[in-house]
Structure 1
Amino acid sequence: MTRFTRRGLLGASALAAVGVATGCSSSDGDSGSGGKVAGATGSVDWWDHFSSFQSLNDDWAKTESTALKTNISHQYYDASKAPEAFQLAHQANKMPDVYSNVIGLPLSALVSGKWVHELTLADDVKSKIPDGTLTEGITGLDGKLYGFPLFSLRQSSTLVWTNKGLWTKAGLDGANPPQDFDSFKAALTKLKGAGVQPLTLAIGADGGRIRDQIDDMAQTAGFPGYQGLMFTTGEYQYHHDAYVTVIEYLKELNDSKLILPGSNNFSVVDARTRYATGVVATFIDGIWCAGGAKALSPAIVPKIGAGQILVPTAGTKAYCYRGRPGASYFVAAGSKDPEAAGKLIGSFMTEDYQNGMIAAMDQPPLNLDLVASSKAIDPYKKMVAFCKDNVFQMPQAIVKNPAQAAVDAQRKPVTPHVGNILQGYLSGSIKDLKGALKKLSDATEADRQQAMTKAKSSGAKVSLDDYAFSDWKPGQDYESKS
């Protein structure tokens, strides 16, 4: 079964895949909670994999049980277990009424595979959702809404998180880490000289997290597109100089022994645990790092410092681009009470729930205006503000032409992806970096071509022109002209 990582949730996929973010941190066991109310007229089962929201969602199930006069049961599944659990439940026709989107299939496949029920939201709920958030082909299909996007597109998987105490040992300001490649390397070198382990990254596992981060850093290094896809021409250019620059820089840090030994094999949880427990001074991670680190080791919270995504040259704008938000929650096709399920999902747009999300310091909610006055720690607020100012809505083929959903349904994962290529380059098994990236460009284009051929044969009116946006301009949101 195909799995997507956080890149899907960010709406970032150039394929407009509707994958969702994996939870911030891991748990050895799964938890469940719910409310039993007198006079309840029904029940709703709710499953998700958002680790930072376990307590919030357990409590919310009790609150909404009373509000909806429905017994709501919330079950948390570790992100590593959720896809298989949901798949088995679907096969057995025992899906919960509400579930988080960790399946890893495009919306068209979820609809045709009878995974999802049409979602009905009250008008007052819809009025709170930012304009342009609900998108045909991403959260809806054929005029019907299926998915609810819980998170803002203005976020990043590639921010610099520090342990201020360890940085102070080296005479450095961990509250304001350097922003450019050379200065950052110099700071890491100084940390190493002070006897502090400088840096870790989640390079291992399937390479998915470091792949996302390379895609982000390539943008700040000058790549005018996302996930290898050029915005203006619609061509795949993983072999662009920006990708080479970023991967060479990561290799430079690794060869200089500034990256914690073993990081090449670390999953996200492995790397974040080293950071949260004070083993390492710096961790490149997403906006959700503060919440994930707190869940692993609360003692880290007062030591957390944060800085923006790195840029190759001082003074360069750290602009990044994301697609419209993907679906975070669905109502199951076989829900016994889709109306109550829809009301539960709609409650996630209340200020109480959105404030609860902010307090958990995971991905920021749709209502970013609540963050500044929240009780979240200052480094988290600082990074939300950075993303609000520097992450822009990108052009997407599926927004230009919703028929592209038929193409997305035929796309297949292409490997080795950029994360795997970095793994091979660091280990020495890949010698020709640019050649490996060119092969990835060609393979990704070939996959798009086969998907488009199949989509056309089924009657979809699609074209490669759907991917080209000659009017795209850096440093601003792209608004569809269609």
Structure 2
Amino acid sequence: MNTFSRRRFLQAAGAAGALALGAAACGGDSGSGSGTGGASALTWWDHQLQLQPAKKRIFEKFAKAPGGMPVDYTFNNPEKLGQALQLAKQSNQLPDVHSNAGLQVPAPQLINEGWMAPLELSSEAVANLKDVLLDGIHIFDGKVYSFPIFDYHVYTNVTWFNTKVAEQAGLDPSAPPTTYDTFRAAARAVQSKGGGAAPWTWNIGMTERTADQLNYLAQAAGFEGNTGMLFKNGEFAYHDDAYVDSLDFLLSLKKDKLMMAGSESWVDTDARGRWSAGAACYYFDGPWCPGVVLSAAPQFAESLGVAPILTPSGGAVRTYHGPQSGDYWLTPKSKHAEAANKLLSDYFTTPDYSVEVANTMSQPPRDLDAVEKSTAHAEYKKLIGWFRDTVFLAPTPVVKNVAITKVQVETKPVEPNLGTIIQGAFTGDVPDVKAALKKLSDDSSAERERAIKAAQAKGAEVSLDDYAFPDWKPGADYTLDQYK
């Protein structure tokens, strides 16, 4: 067993962030920014639309600071960034710094394939991060590769709504729907009296996002695990009633014509844009939703409403999230590594940046107390308060045994995955949801067993037991000391 300790952290930090998919959150547009720059500029690609104003201010300061330089920033939708990065890797044109949204490959494998280099952060930066860096998530082979800018108190299936459309339908915005039945009732009210607005829209064409959202819906419905894996025994159970019932609920909205036509192929830009324009009342999205919408349409602030994640029949909400992964990664062949490390150390690890993150209403910042110091919308602040009370730190196998990174390197994607099953269920290509989810459980188990054997054959000390946490308890954080 390999557990995280303060001593191990200091050793790793003195030498110098688990999955590279954590960047799959955050809203996005479909366009891109300024493109790659010349040798005189540090290039930076990511998918964080709502953080652009904060980054613009930082990049302008950095360009004028001692040891700084201009930064050429490019933005891509999270679904498209992975494709852009793959093309850039093939042509040896990766940016100096990038996020990993859309790559869908574990960080250890990306490191082995030459995508990322270790960071050399300043001592002040290391001190700011002392409580969040973990082996197998941010630290690999004793070196820090990335760090989180967000906090783990988050889920991505928030019920956002247009208060003016709700009022027109005779609904009380101060008492929004919180259960499947009350949501259906509210949607039907919009259908009949909403002035032509659709009751609900969703970004079903964004399969990575919808998979993440269904994982949280299943947790809120009672699933005691994450990404299909039960905490206590480590078994895959995508076919659990919580998953089946949650997906059946979503499908019923389409069946009852409560879903906006076209949603099956839309990404967040399409669905969110129509929702914020008043074409739909309800939209499921992450906490970054107001940051994206209000930056483009400040007047929508008067119409913004929020409700917590839906549950089948009410009661306490319990969701679970592992430690946040790293957000920004350095390219090995960067000609501006020293400047990139200075930029990351001096600006993106600081408490002030947590306030900047909160100001832009992105995911909850690494320092949650920064939210109250921010200029964020009152509905966003309300949501972060719910997150504090209803999101718990999940047990994470790679923190229990860092050798699981060797399994991650060997693991191949299972297809069809949860997101493609969801989309197929909405398009009619997956008629038997329960059977498809059972096959996903079986295929995921088989692939993990194969990857474990492959890792063991190369000397990794790892087993299925590393995925089980029999001492886990619902509604509580799984803390670092419990890994011992």
- State the TM-score, normalizing by the size of structure 1: 0.90
Match of 1:60 in 2: 58
Match of 2:68 in 1: 70
Q: Quick one: which of 22, 28, 38 aligns to 2:31?
A: 28
Counterparts of 2:267 and 2:297, CA distance in 1: 17
What amino acid maps onto 2:395 in structure 1? P
* Cα distance change of structure 1 residues 380 and 151 upon mapping to structure 2, 3 Å threshold: same
The two structures, once aligned, show a CA RMSD in angstroms of: 2.2
* Cα distance change of structure 1 residues 267 and 186 upon mapping to structure 2, 3 Å threshold: same
Is the Cα contact below 8 Å between 2:306 and 2:383 reproduced in 1? yes
Counterparts of 2:46 and 2:267, CA distance in 1: 21
Counterparts of 2:426 and 2:87, CA distance in 1: 37
Counterparts of 2:465 and 2:97, CA distance in 1: 37
- State the 1:19 CA deviation: 4.8
Report the more deviating stretch, 163-172 or 430-439. Answer: 430-439
Counterparts of 1:248 and 1:116, CA distance in 2: 40
Counterparts of 2:303 and 2:36, CA distance in 1: 32
Q: How does 1:181-196 map to 2 (within 5 A)?
A: 181-196=180-195
Q: How does 1:51-450 map to 2 (within 5 A)?
A: 51-79=49-77, 80-102=79-101, 103-129=103-129, 131=131, 133-196=132-195, 197-314=197-314, 316-346=315-345, 347-450=347-450
Is the Cα contact below 8 Å between 1:25 and 1:296 reproduced in 2? no
- State the TM-score, normalizing by the size of structure 2: 0.89
Report the more deviating stretch, 182-191 or 61-70. Answer: 61-70
Is the Cα contact below 8 Å between 2:206 and 2:266 reproduced in 1? no
Match of 1:6 in 2: none
Secondary structure at the counterpart of residue 435 of structure 2: helix
- State the 1:304 CA deviation: 0.5
* Cα distance change of structure 1 residues 429 and 108 upon mapping to structure 2, 3 Å threshold: closer
Match of 2:8 in 1: none
Secondary structure at the counterpart of residue 355 of structure 2: helix
Match of 2:7 in 1: none
- State the 1:453 CA deviation: 1.6
- State the 1:27 CA deviation: 4.6
* Cα distance change of structure 1 residues 92 and 417 upon mapping to structure 2, 3 Å threshold: closer
* Cα distance change of structure 1 residues 108 and 70 upon mapping to structure 2, 3 Å threshold: same
Counterparts of 1:26 and 1:174, CA distance in 2: 28
Is the Cα contact below 8 Å between 1:189 and 1:198 reproduced in 2? no
CA offsets, 1:168-202, max 9 Å, x none? 11222224412111112111111212134343343
Report the more deviating stretch, 169-178 or 362-371. Answer: 169-178
Counterparts of 1:429 and 1:332, CA distance in 2: 40
Secondary structure at the counterpart of residue 284 of structure 2: strand
- State the 1:44 CA deviation: 3.2
Counterparts of 2:337 and 2:385, CA distance in 1: 36
Report the more deviating stretch, 105-114 or 156-165. Answer: 105-114
- State the 1:360 CA deviation: 1.5
Match of 1:3 in 2: none
Counterparts of 2:239 and 2:51, CA distance in 1: 39
- State the 1:252 CA deviation: 2.0
Counterparts of 2:303 and 2:463, CA distance in 1: 51
- State the 1:378 CA deviation: 0.5
Secondary structure at the counterpart of residue 459 of structure 1: coil
CA offsets, 1:270-327, max 9 Å, x none? 111111111111101111111122244333222101010011112x221111111111
Match of 1:9 in 2: none
Match of 2:11 in 1: none
Report the more deviating stretch, 325-334 or 73-82. Answer: 73-82
* Cα distance change of structure 1 residues 207 and 83 upon mapping to structure 2, 3 Å threshold: closer
Is the Cα contact below 8 Å between 1:278 and 1:300 reproduced in 2? no
Unaligned runs of 5+ in 1: 1-14, 37-41
CA offsets, 1:346-405, max 9 Å, x none? 211224332222221111210110101211101111111111221111111111000000
Secondary structure at the counterpart of residue 284 of structure 1: strand
Counterparts of 2:70 and 2:359, CA distance in 1: 23
* Cα distance change of structure 1 residues 22 and 240 upon mapping to structure 2, 3 Å threshold: closer
Match of 1:10 in 2: none
- State the 1:269 CA deviation: 1.4
Counterparts of 1:213 and 1:32, CA distance in 2: 31
* Cα distance change of structure 1 residues 413 and 280 upon mapping to structure 2, 3 Å threshold: same
Secondary structure at the counterpart of residue 65 of structure 2: helix
Counterparts of 1:379 and 1:457, CA distance in 2: 52
What amino acid maps onto 1:168 in structure 2? E
What amino acid maps onto 1:297 in structure 2? A
* Cα distance change of structure 1 residues 85 and 278 upon mapping to structure 2, 3 Å threshold: same
- State the 1:29 CA deviation: 4.2
Counterparts of 1:301 and 1:238, CA distance in 2: 38
What amino acid maps onto 2:47 in structure 1? H
* Cα distance change of structure 1 residues 148 and 369 upon mapping to structure 2, 3 Å threshold: same
Is the Cα contact below 8 Å between 2:166 and 2:194 reproduced in 1? no
- State the 1:23 CA deviation: 4.8
CA offsets, 1:139-159, max 9 Å, x none? 111111101212111111100
- State the 1:451 CA deviation: 1.2
What amino acid maps onto 1:405 in structure 2? T
